[in-house]
A and B are shown apart, each in its own frame.
Chain A
Amino acid sequence: MNSTRTGSTRYTPDAVPAPGPSAARMTIPAPTDPAASARAQHPSSRPVPAILSARTLTKTYGSTTALSGLTLDIRAGESVAIMGTSGSGKTTLLHCLAGIVLPDSGRITLNTAAGSTRIDSLNESGRSRLRRESFGFVFQQGLLIPELTALENVAIALMLNGLDRTTAEQASAGWLQSLGLAGMEQRRIGELSGGQAQRVAIARAQVTGAGVIFADEPTGALDSATSAEVMQVLLDSTTGASKTLVVVTHDDTVASRCARVVSLQDGRLVGDSAGGAR
């Protein structure tokens, strides 16, 4: 069951068809969907172009400069670890790339088969929609909804995109199963371990078939064994399926699992394992 990206819509109807306004155009990607995503996004492109392109980004908070003329390209299907000390600007960079905050100046472009989108020129609701439909997020504490079950926490991402609940829950159950959470669908978040909760967050980030997954210290609250396990699940389900993974971390072990490591200091790029600093 491959999912293919076409035009402004997200997936071709090769999986579970879903009724509803925007859902009519949408099908849900299967949990194990090897190498489909990036190929689908850029079927004939070689070499792989930048799926996210940031140019001379600056961002200040009061008198603090978080980003200072930073330029970075992230290619489709790669895993990138953004490292740096506290205050280096790594989380601000992730927030800018994901359209959570706007840079004071500079350009951020999302390139897909549907065309290019200037994230920095979208309004709040446009960026909200982009985050909902094109990106997935995994936060340090998972930040799942405590009163919902594991299944509902995943399904809600699809329901926000207009899918009906039954279809959304069917697809979500598949994701939970593939991430080793079969039988835990009806548990509330408080009834799961930290690692299990992060797997739910990973399922939620990916169930919509987002091509780019942003993770902010995804293993920060976990012990080392669980951390390695969660990182493996995250990599398998993203780059393993040719999706793009952007991880903010200060943990060398986590960074070493990524194909590329970029380092920030004082809002500038000071190291890039793929080709030096800019």
Chain B
Amino acid sequence: MSTAVVDFRSAVRLAWLLARPGAAGGSAAGLPVLAFGLVTALLLIVLAGALSFFRWQDPAAGLYQLLAVLALVLLVLPLLTLGGAAARLSARRRDDRLSTLRLLGATPSTVGIITVLESTALAAAGAVAGVAGYLLLAPLVQLIEFRGAPIGTAFWLNPLAVAGVAAAVVLLAAASAAAGLGKVVISPLGVRTRQAPAKVHWFRGVLGALVIVAGYAAVSTGYASAAIAIAVVLGTFAAGLAVLNLLGPWVVAVLGRRQLRKASTAGKLLAARAILESPKAAWRQVSGVAMTSFVAVFGGTGAALAGSSPQETMGPEQFIAGDIRTGILITIGVSFLMVACSAGVNQASAVLDRADLYSSLDRLGMPRHVMDRARIRAVMLPLLLVSLGSAAVAALLVLPLAGLALVMAPLSVLTIAACLAAGIGVVRGGLWATGPVMAKVLEPAR
């Protein structure tokens, strides 16, 4: 029998043995299950909503279907980010047990398999909860009106599609847990992260700027064919989102270095170092709001544009302006929900990861509020910067299309401002919600 098979069998047996609650209580397992449940439920609702538009066959339906696919793409990316965060949380939550197994002679591959199995099991539990959530919420979502009628029974997904989404979430968890293992060293003496902080190259900044300039030029050019113009606009939109992901970590790293130089208090120093420890991770925590801000500018301008149409329309077209507004609100609302959950899950994960450290800092006499302020600052500072920055990038790209008057129209400005405020608010709320996790971590020291 090959070594790999023996490793797998012993890993399965050990994973089963370890599948009982640890000293950290149910929260360590409960959080990832909750997050996976939310990811599954939202994925199903978003997918069901988008697919419900494909029941129409008339000429105007094409626009709805295009926008539905666009919303789906916009929401799937942050959903995958949240799924990844949940997987990392589930993989890191029982480091102590894993290092003990290494001490007892378990091979790195055995420990790796156990971690992946545990994450997969938690994701499966979450996926089941998520399907239940979808079924429970469906009657409410079905009431939302498009084209003057509730979505109704068109919202129900094929059971195979439901099973497919649940399976995809479980697979995502397994893949993310396996990828996450590469970033830690589970040794017999504990779990260490890498020794050197991740570097983010300035080249990202240059490349990002070039893409923005190219996008601006592309949308400023006149096109003979409407199809080409739509393709250019959608391409620019996608490029804008991609550039945000490219620029984000670099901008966050620049911010971190600046904050480190200026840090005058213990809390500010800790926050700046936490950002610089992994600018990519810091970006991941706020990328949802950056994306939402970007979408809000396009959406706000789109809503203003839809509302400014002077001619009276009849038939299916009469609902387009209102439906676009509804779609934008739903997209932004779902996006915020995911952002808040991502912030909460990431922070809970960060606090649990550093439980020993926080406990020792408490013993040294570091006040709880200093620890809290440092971790809140490490999220809120990049958040403010990237949400405003991404709104500015979006405004730059939308300006040649819509003109200054529409970008600055009251409805547009109101949508953008409300989105920014809500985005910042939900992330702060997500951080606030992790307070009990911190209290739990400090409890044994008291």
Contacts and interface: CB of A to CB of B under 8 A. Distances in A.
Given A137-B364, A147-B273, A188 B196 contact: yes
Given A101-B446, A145-B357, A165-B263, A131 B363 contact: yes
A98 interface: yes
A124 interface: yes
Contacts of B263: 165
A156 interface: yes
Contacts of B194: 190
B370 interface: yes
Contacts of B269: 148, 152, 156, 159, 165
B166 to A, nearest CB: 37
Interface string A194-212: 0000000000100000000
Given A131-B363, A156-B266, A156-B269, A188 B195 contact: yes
Given A100-B445, A125-B367, A143-B356, A165 B264 contact: yes
A146 B194 CA distance: 10
Interface in A134-158: 135, 137, 139, 141, 143, 145-148, 152, 156-157
B196 A133 contact: no
B315 interface: no
Interface in B151-190: 189-190
Contacts of B364: 131-132, 137, 157, 160, 204
B195 A160 contact: no
B270 interface: yes
Contacts of B357: 143, 145-146
B443 to A, nearest CB: 11
Interface residues of A, number: 32
B372 interface: no
Contacts of A139: 360, 363
A10 to B, nearest CB: 13
Contacts of B270: 145, 148, 156
B56 to A, nearest CB: 54
A132 B365 contact: yes
A133 B189 CA distance: 31
A160 B367 CA distance: 9
A159 B361 CA distance: 13
Contact of A221 (B189, B192, B197): B189
Contact of A128 (B190, B192, B367): B367
Interface of A: 98, 100-101, 124-125, 128-133, 135, 137, 139, 141, 143, 145-148, 152, 156-157, 159-160, 164-165, 188, 190-191, 204, 221
13 contacts: A100-B445, A128-B365, A129-B365, A131-B365, A137-B364, A139-B360, A143-B357, A147-B273, A148-B273, A156-B266, A159-B265, A188-B196, A188-B197
- Nearest first, the 9 closest Cβ-Cβ pairs linking A and B are A132-B365, A190-B195, A131-B365, A143-B360, A159-B266, A147-B277, A147-B273, A160-B266, A128-B365
